[in-house]
Amino acid sequence: MRTNVRVRRALVLTVGCLTLGAAVGDAQAQAGTTPPETLLRLDDLERMALERNPTLPQARASVRAAEGRHRQAGIYPNPLIGYEAEEINTREPGRFKNFFWFQVPIVTAGKLGKSRDLAAADRQRAEVNADIQRLRVVTTVRELYYEALGSARIVELRQELAKLTREAVDVSEELFNVGQADRPDVLDVEIQAQRAELELAKAQSQQARIWRILAATVGNPGMPLAKLAGSLDPLPQLDREAIMAKVLRESPEVRLAQVNVERARAARERVRAERAPNVFVRSKLGYNAESTNGGRDVGFEAGVEIGVPLPLFDRQQGNLTSAEADVEHAQADVRRLELALRSQLETALKSYEDARLEVERYQREILPRAQQSRELYQKGFQQMAAAYPQVLIAQRMLSEARVEYVRAQVELWRGATLLEGMLLSGGLEAPFHTSVQLPPATGHVPIPSGRATD
């Protein structure tokens, strides 16, 4: 009988110690008491991403490329210089005309200025896209940071439950050996232990997966798993109307759409200017070795030529129609984007509000009840009024409730981060880029399509 009592007391002590350990673990997790030298802060991850994420140099290179095209668009076309020989014959080899000529193109209708305006719009578009990409990277890092925090906390909870169930298996075997537990009770405890081990392995795999994605996003795929500073508490607080007004007012995507309208207008003006043909002026100076009536050479001669293409057939009709349609398309796209943002905001806000409701329900109702249930079963077991598997099941329900609570916290933080990041994510997506286009020989820059290259 004394052996039975000792075994039962050992089991009660095991439950009490592990329960206390779980409570202490919760307090440490919320207080963030990990040794400072082992912690990675959110600021560290953001700084690492801004230094190493390859999409940001891509975006900056696009800006430099656009600046180069802007500078090139304002350069006047080069003149031509050449040599000309006329009336060469074999009877009098030395009797022919020699001329050096110099040709200057005259760009009309302000084409160079309009080309500069178009290139300036392209540069502004590249700058806005660079801002968008930076916000994408930062938002993605923040989302993954909170996911990593949550996954680490879930691993801790799974480890606590696995430890509890492993020790419970040993004690249940002892109770069975002294006749204080039935074989089904032992099997129930073993099943709980196996399930706890399986959930722990899945949680550790999920933690490793999130960490690898985070490491890739910050540009350091070999970064070893480390502890993160910070906590999922306190919870973010966002005002629906304020965040909606901020996104619609400050969204870089809306600003980009407005820049596209200005660019389309600049392209239209450039096409209109193209209808006025350029003029060329050629001057020549040379020596005429032909003989005059007096037997002397004609001597030095000079001349001037002026030419202009005749716009009889090509008057840029199709290009102008296309440019006007592009303006209408860009104007409509501003309104479309505003409406699309409203729709996306409603979806994102609903996800945020649902997560907040879930977190608050767990805080007020579910977790206190799960805690109370576990304590009542534990008390009943101590008074020999409940079987130990019931205590273990109650402990497992409490652990699952804590895990779900952490997941709800992560969803809440992810939703808040996405809203504060103007709904921009995807830190490894390729940024917008327009490749270089060589200008034609007519002295004006081409009008790029403005479409992003994949």
Residue 13 in this model has a pLDDT that exceeds 90: no
Mean pLDDT of 164-168: 89
Under 8 Å CB-to-CB from 320, ≥6 apart: which residues? 268, 271, 272, 275
Residue 10 in this model has a pLDDT that exceeds 60: no
Does residue 446 belong to any structural domain of this protein?
no
What range does the domain containing 217 cover?
2-420
Does residue 301 belong to any structural domain of this protein?
yes
**Structural domain total, the chain:** 1
Pairing mode, if any, of strands 297-307 and 227-228? unpaired
pLDDT mean across residues, the chain:
86
Mean pLDDT of 59-88: 91
Does residue 440 belong to any structural domain of this protein?
no
Residues 184, 185, 188, CA angle at the centre, nearest 5°? Answer: 85
pLDDT in tens, 42-72: 999 999 999 999 999 999 999 999 999 999 9
Q: CATH number, domain at 265?
A: 1.20.1600.10
pLDDT at 185: 79
Does residue 9 belong to any structural domain of this protein?
yes
> What percent of the chain is modeled with pLDDT above 90?
67
Does residue 276 belong to any structural domain of this protein?
yes
Residue 435 burial (10 A CB sphere; 0-12, 13-18, 19+)? exposed
CA 380 – CA 397 distance, rounded (Å) = 17
Does residue 96 belong to any structural domain of this protein?
yes
Mean pLDDT of 267-279: 95
pLDDT in tens, 392-441: 888 889 999 999 999 999 999 999 999 999 999 999 999 988 765 555 44
Q: Which of 85-94, 370-379, 397-406, 439-448 has the lowest mean pLDDT?
A: 439-448
Does residue 441 belong to any structural domain of this protein?
no
CA 341 – CA 424 distance, rounded (Å) = 11
Q: Which residue has the tokens 């040794």?
A: 35
Does residue 447 belong to any structural domain of this protein?
no
Q: Which of 16-20, 170-174, 375-379, 428-432 has the lowest mean pLDDT?
A: 16-20
Residue 24 in this model has a pLDDT that exceeds 60: no
pLDDT at 28: 44
pTM (two decimals): 0.83
CA 44 – CA 227 distance, rounded (Å) = 12
How does residue 156 score in pLDDT terms, banded at 50, 70 and 90?
A: very high
